[in-house]
Chains A and B, each alone.
Chain A
């Protein structure tokens, strides 16, 4: 065999691998889309506000500690606290953990909520960086500020768990805000399952461009920036398609750290949040799945599509790159730490389906997709036969990248009665069709960088510029 023939055969072989991979990905996404469609269809006409009132009564509910890790959050923390104080929930405490911020986070909170230092014994069950002081608000006695030596988000959350006095805790990012009924609704699966559910996560939506006052969304609307709109589409796809389907079969590995509730007992059992990883939220969920299987307990971790947490999305390429690199690095680290679960029947559907899905489709997907893009370019130089091949691959990319996004938008609009408004819906749909040509290749590169960072053992968080969601920041 001569060299060009070997090269050509090898090139063809790679093409087939890429093709098979893309078909497998499309098959799994189609299945998840169908499951989400069926699930949402079942609840579409349900008026959930009718059952909220009954659930507010304190005896139905479990008291919750809300933990807000805050590092340099002076822009958004007031809006965040206001939204938490307005929650419709009978019994909760708010612990804002100032993780050694170097901006004015601490002063702003102390001044704004009239915080006074208190003496409090902390049940130091998880090892953390030392606490410097604990303050309590004169105006809202259930609001506490804990200042501590900087130790990272996981460490701050562990401090919150140590200080918390209730059996469930809810972690919220310091720059996010919650809808007033969201805690009640995210707690519902826990209450209604009679404690079979040990963790729940709610939907996170992007609020750039929304009008927010005193921690409450007063007007919804799309922002002008295409990069933010693309992220809105991405969130819809990820939450509606990915998490809903996986949740139905107790296979969720990621519930967003921006808004999730956990049983304290179970989190303590697995040693709290893991430090030294950039994806502490996923890491905790995977640890819990491992523990459930090890203890042979019939417990569940679920995603609830309705409760909403509003967050601020990066509005420039630099910050978006930092965020995506970090997320992907976290995914890589968690999968590596729990490699023994992969393909292990002991861990049931999580070991046999969920972890392989996250490994081959979510983690390695960007590398393979990037290879696909490179393959298409190279095909132009490899002769006519390969151009057709590249065309097939390109069409699959369009199907996978843009059409699924469009379908997710339609699914979201169908399942919710009023949002988005018709003109916003048109913009979302049109922009989703462009995804495969600019946004997706960029995120693929950044996610691949995340894998490289994980392989190199980098632990840099990188900072993201926050503008704050609420108008109160001024």
Chain B
């Protein structure tokens, strides 16, 4: 027993020594870190006028800002983040890219080749955020390496290629190295312009299903009216999710023609389809929309009733129509949502 007690005592003493050693090490590094941060802040304070002139005024030379040493490089990197956070302008992004291409290429390439996954992710995030177009080739080269990348890294690399290359992104989006989810595709597609979306949509039928669904949604969000025929085609799909997404995007496009295509969905057995129909008809001519919306305001699903009431309110003479629901309807739920519409809403 005594031996156990002494051994345990020893273990605790050793542990305490280790913990205190770690504590002092931590304090030492913390102080180093604080000192480094102070120097970075000092650089930014000292040189902010020069940088302001370079970034915001024309014909300013970048030579005077040439960084000396790693600390200045890190300070400039921090400055880029601050500028990006506060000001969003294509000219500034262009100047940041021009400066970094001349003086910080090795710095960013070095970080990208780091053994630490977190540092690589930080660098990829910065390339995307600061619009460092000159890093497209190193990023593409990194992607081609046989090295195993994490999903976060791959997504960021795809995002950068989509942002800085007109065509190269298509192959990566269609056949990514890891399976991507809807959120991932949304993130990628939001960075593309209309021309790039068109390029991708040319191969719509061969795209992965999740990419198709996301594209349909993006078409609505960006109001790409040219793709309305594609959305109409999707309404015939046997896939319920595809139909709902197409209806949702049509509602976002705020169109008021081809109403005969949407009307059958007001009798769908799927409440989301009825909901989207109610949303679409808020832009239709009153005489065509009212019978459908008056039918939907009595829907068994609350969300559909509420949307139908909202859509009626937004029609021409909608207030009057809504008032007639309150006074004439025998359906108490319909009356309830109609009355709510006369109150405040957001």
Contacts and interface: CB of A to CB of B under 8 A. Distances in A.
Contact of A403 (B8, B16, B336): B16
Chain B at the A interface: mostly helix, strand, loop or mixed?
helix
A60 interface: yes
A136 B339 CA distance: 16
B125 to A, nearest CB: 4
B302 to A, nearest CB: 4
Given A119-B342, A192-B183, A392-B4, A425 B26 contact: yes
A141 B333 CA distance: 25
A396 B182 CA distance: 50
Interface residues of B, number: 54
Interface in A114-154: 116, 118-121, 123, 136, 141-142
Chain A at the B interface: mostly helix, strand, loop or mixed?
helix
B30 A425 contact: yes
Interface string A91-108: 001000000000000000
A54 B187 contact: yes
Contacts of B129: 50, 53-54
Given A392-B4, A410-B26, A422-B30, A119 B339 contact: yes
B122 A118 contact: no
Given A119-B342, A142-B346, A414 B12 contact: no
Interface stretch (A40-48, A303-311, A437-445): A40-48
Given A54-B187, A119-B340, A136 B346 contact: yes
Contacts of B187: 54, 60
A168 to B, nearest CB: 14
A93 B346 CA distance: 10
Interface stretch (A79-87, A201-209, A383-391, A449-457): A383-391
A119 B343 contact: yes
Contact of A57 (B5, B128, B190, B336): B190
A174 B70 CA distance: 47
Nearest to A143: B346
A43 B184 CA distance: 20
Interface of A: 42-47, 49-51, 53-54, 57, 59-60, 93, 116, 118-121, 123, 136, 141-142, 191-194, 385, 388-389, 391-392, 395-396, 398-399, 403, 406-407, 410, 413-414, 417-418, 422, 425-426, 429
8 contacts: A53-B85, A59-B186, A59-B218, A60-B187, A119-B339, A194-B182, A399-B11, A403-B12
Given A57-B190, A60-B190, A429-B23, 10 more contacts: A45-B118, A45-B122, A51-B125, A53-B85, A59-B186, A60-B183, A60-B187, A120-B343, A194-B184, A417-B33
